[in-house]
Structure 1
């Protein structure tokens, strides 16, 4: 599990990105890059990191499910993910 401070920082970044999304889009469309520089660094969506919703793990993230590969495997074996079965041939 990720440290709580790392998860809190990520949530703070997500809030800033959502708050400044419209303003960033308008400034980019207008080509006003000097005004874009005045926005907070963490307001840029590039600074977000995909993390597992359950554990906060940043690596092995499966975008379709929103969880890490480890959690995906555990949940799939327990039958908690509809339509996912263990392959056997």
Structure 2
């Protein structure tokens, strides 16, 4: 399970993204990319997607399943992910 402090940090990042979402949309519509770079780093929604929800691991992240490769392998072998089977040849 992911550490509580990591989950809380992700919640804080989500609040920051929501806070600046309207401003980011306006700047993007005006093609003001310099203005976007002046916003806080955590204002970008892409910063939220790179952490496994189960283990909290950042590296080896599989976007399609939104989990790390280690968690994916464990869950796939246990049959917890629909449509995923272990290959054998």
Report what 2:59 is aligned to: 59
- d(CA) in 1 for partners of 2:73, 2:25: 38
> Which structure 2 segments of 5+ residues have no match?
none
Kindly provide the CA deviation profile for residues 31-70 of structure 1, in whole angstroms up to 9, marking residues without a partner as x. Answer: 3855973x44422335445000111110111100011111
When the two chains are superposed, the root-mean-square deviation of aligned CA atoms in Å is 2.5
* Correspondence for 2:6: 6
Other-structure match for 1:45: 45
TM-score, structure 1 as length reference: 0.76
2:28 matched residue in structure 1: 28
Task: Measure the CA separation in 1 of the matches of 2:64 and 2:49.
Answer: 15
TM-score under structure 2 length normalisation = 0.76
Structure 1 unaligned spans of 5+: none
* In structure 2, distance between residues paired with 1:32 and 1:61: 28
Distance of aligned partners of 1:79 and 1:3 in 2 relative to their CA distance in 1, 3 Å threshold: closer
